[in-house]
Chain A
Amino acid sequence: MKSITLGQFYPSDSILHRLDPRMKVILAVLYIVATFLCKNVLSFALLLLSAIVLILISKIPMKLVLGGIKAILFIMAFTALINVFFTKGETPIVEWRFIHIYAEGLWQALFMIVRITVLIVGTSMLLTYTTTPIMLTDALEQLLAPLRVLHIPVHEFAMMMTIALRFIPTLVEETNKIMSAQKARGADFTSGSLISRAKALIPILIPLFVSAFRRADELATAMECRCYHGGAGRTRMTILHYSPKDFVALAVIVVFGAGIIVLNRLGIGYTM
């Protein structure tokens, strides 16, 4: 279990990996906005092109990207079907009994598939594949820091996130140990009905919870011994710095968004 990796981070040295994580979060938000601005064939084509460019510059293997898309295939199919059958339009293609399919419906379905795919690919290229979970946590903590004015415990959430990330491998390892111990005593996790298999998990969950609480207690003591007292007065070893390439990336995405708006106005083909 030593090989467990968290999240989808794929180590590489691409430009996307080297961007400031805070800027990547901002870029991802802007990119999501851009995907929702698209209205016609031209803008969706530009959107699709941008996703392909992102994949290429991120140096993430295509196999990994396609694997990520496979996971949402069902949602995509479902959305497409709904759009095909329930969009009312003016150019009917099929009219049979209660089934009415319009050309607009087909366009709508196509646009939705492109939008969802690009949404997933774009955000994972910008964030999850190219940023470690811990950097992402740091970035969110700093970006959301102004919310502290509203008494939202931003630092505490980030700390919880960090500790969760730290302990997931430890707890997975422990689960395996407990499972082996229960198997050695004759527990059976793999046969029987769904309900009996679920019941077989109880002897694993109870010791796991007991140990997790004990760990939490000991960790809290250890943190207190290291003078932890929340975010106030705390400094950080690594301070994030924006570099020129971060602002270049920001400029690129703004131009890209402007491009989408311009293409929307050209009014070619079906418009959403």
Chain B
Amino acid sequence: MSQSWIRTENLTYSYQDDSTGEDQPVLHGIDLSIDRGEYIAIIGHNGSGKSTLAKLLNLVLEPTGGAIYVDGKNVSSPDMTDEDVFALRQKVGMVFQNPDNQLVATVVEEDVAFGPENLGVPSAEIRQRVDDALAMVGMTEYAKHEPHRLSGGQKQRVAIAGIIAMMPECMIFDESTAMLDPLGRREVLDTMEMLHREKNITIITITHHMDEAARADRIIVLDDGRILRDGTPEEIFSDPEPLIEAGLDVPQSASLIHRLRKQGIELPGKIGTPDDCLETICAVFEQ
């Protein structure tokens, strides 16, 4: 029995095609283990099943086969009650792509309170949680604002605060930076990494920005509903051919190191982010 916090066994998902009536498989037998406190990026081209996988983990979608265990509990079993599902969603929060379409209330703090209110948390504690969550994402001064007057990055931070207020142990970001400008993206990424570092929250981010993936501790590459690669950014990006075959990019820094290595230059060290790349190359010059 492994100690993994989230574990999937031969997880499959397929949906029925409306026009042909045939089952259209999206995921074919995913075996995955995620430990508490990990920072994981899931990458893959469009239609690789990465979003589906994320939505299965907190039962927005129900698996058609296999099993999912979260915190030692089989959450894909048919005898899950509604309360069990709510308990799961409280533990595994999810932030979506479009910041507009996940804010419910007309005032920022009311929106952050929405999750805890649904969980039936006492009023005084909700107040405390909302204040803490807003402070954590740096949106305290906007507590009384209307969401539609905020920027994309700010809205997304409010959405994150709304999940934090539910006190999750794991947060899934389903392409949460895809619709943001560079500034908004940085705000969200910084918030994400702060939650991982300071609150020890397990982060699973679905992205198609390779430089975002490179910041994670571990990358899972999905291709046509199967796990193609699973490893640290160094492991994944030092061997870029399978990625390119799967229709994915490699971060520029990793690609540079890879080409230098191909030229026969010895480059030990990290390669994921531009900073790592710089260090690795400088180290060679110092020798």
Which residues of A pack against B, CB within 8 Å? 2, 4, 6, 133-134, 162-163, 165-166, 169-170, 173, 214-215, 218-219, 221-229, 233-239
Q: Residue B148 contacts which of A133, A173, A233, A239 (CB distance < 8 angstroms)?
A: A173
For A221, list chain B residues within 8 Å (CB): 60, 96
Report if A222-B115 is in contact (Cβ < 8 Å); known contacts: A134-B107, A173-B148, A233-B120: no
16 A-B residue pairs with CB within 8 Å: A134-B107, A166-B103, A166-B147, A169-B146, A169-B148, A215-B101, A225-B60, A225-B93, A225-B94, A229-B82, A233-B120, A235-B120, A235-B123, A235-B126, A237-B113, A237-B117
Assess whether B123 is in contact with A238, with CB atoms less than 8 Å apart. Answer: yes
Give per-residue flags for B123-146: 1 if the beta carbon is below 8 A from chain A beta carbons, else 0.
Answer: 100110010000000000000001
User: What is the CA–CA distance of A84 and B105 in the complex, to the nearest angstrom?
Assistant: 49
Assess whether A166 is in contact with B105, with CB atoms less than 8 Å apart. Answer: yes
Instruction: Write the chain A residue with the least CB distance to B112.
Output: A237
Report if A226-B89 is in contact (Cβ < 8 Å); known contacts: A166-B147, A238-B123: yes
Instruction: Write the chain A residue with the least CB distance to B87.
Output: A227
Instruction: Write the chain B residue with the least CB distance to A221.
Output: B60
For A223, list chain B residues within 8 Å (CB): 104, 114
Smallest beta-carbon distance B121→chain A, Å: 6
Assess whether B104 is in contact with A237, with CB atoms less than 8 Å apart. Answer: no
User: What is the CA–CA distance of A182 and B105 in the complex, to the nearest angstrom?
Assistant: 31
Q: Residue among B90, B114, B115, B162 with the most chain A CB within 10 A?
A: B114
Assess whether B115 is in contact with A227, with CB atoms less than 8 Å apart. Answer: yes
For B82, list chain A residues within 8 Å (CB): 229
Which residues of B pack against A, CB within 8 Å? 58, 60, 82, 86, 89-90, 93-94, 96, 98, 100-107, 109-110, 113-123, 126-127, 130, 146-149, 162-163, 166
For A165, list chain B residues within 8 Å (CB): 106
Assess whether A225 is in contact with B89, with CB atoms less than 8 Å apart. Answer: yes
Smallest beta-carbon distance A134→chain B, Å: 5
For A162, list chain B residues within 8 Å (CB): 104-106
Assess whether A218 is in contact with B96, with CB atoms less than 8 Å apart. Answer: yes
User: What is the CA–CA distance of A218 and B116 in the complex, to the nearest angstrom?
Assistant: 20
For A238, list chain B residues within 8 Å (CB): 110, 123
User: What is the CA–CA distance of A227 and B86 in the complex, to the nearest angstrom?
Assistant: 5
For B166, list chain A residues within 8 Å (CB): 226-227
Instruction: Write the chain B residue with the least CB distance to A222.
Output: B102
User: What is the CA–CA distance of A228 and B115 in the complex, to the nearest angstrom?
Assistant: 7
User: What is the CA–CA distance of A6 and B147 in the complex, to the nearest angstrom?
Assistant: 13
Q: Residue B96 contacts which of A2, A6, A222, A227 (CB distance < 8 angstroms)?
A: A222
Report if A215-B100 is in contact (Cβ < 8 Å); known contacts: A225-B89, A225-B94, A227-B86: yes
Instruction: Write the chain B residue with the least CB distance to A215.
Output: B101
User: What is the CA–CA distance of A17 and B147 in the complex, to the nearest angstrom?
Assistant: 23
User: What is the CA–CA distance of A162 and B105 in the complex, to the nearest angstrom?
Assistant: 6
Q: Residue B58 contacts which of A219, A225, A228 (CB distance < 8 angstroms)?
A: A225
User: What is the CA–CA distance of A142 and B106 in the complex, to the nearest angstrom?
Assistant: 18
Assess whether A229 is in contact with B118, with CB atoms less than 8 Å apart. Answer: yes
Assess whether A163 is in contact with B104, with CB atoms less than 8 Å apart. Answer: yes
Smallest beta-carbon distance B215→chain A, Å: 24
For B120, list chain A residues within 8 Å (CB): 233-235
For B147, list chain A residues within 8 Å (CB): 166
User: What is the CA–CA distance of A221 and B166 in the complex, to the nearest angstrom?
Assistant: 16
User: What is the CA–CA distance of A224 and B85 in the complex, to the nearest angstrom?
Assistant: 10
Q: What 6 A-B pairs are tightest by C-beta distance, nearest first? A: A222-B102, A237-B113, A218-B101, A226-B115, A237-B126, A169-B148
User: What is the CA–CA distance of A74 and B162 in the complex, to the nearest angstrom?
Assistant: 48
Assess whether B103 is in contact with A239, with CB atoms less than 8 Å apart. Answer: no
For B109, list chain A residues within 8 Å (CB): 237
For B101, list chain A residues within 8 Å (CB): 214-215, 218-219, 222
User: What is the CA–CA distance of A233 and B120 in the complex, to the nearest angstrom?
Assistant: 6
For B119, list chain A residues within 8 Å (CB): 227
Assess whether A227 is in contact with B90, with CB atoms less than 8 Å apart. Answer: yes
Known: A235-B123, A237-B130. 9 other contacts (CB 8 A): A134-B110, A162-B104, A214-B101, A227-B115, A227-B119, A228-B114, A229-B86, A235-B121, A236-B117
For A224, list chain B residues within 8 Å (CB): 60, 89
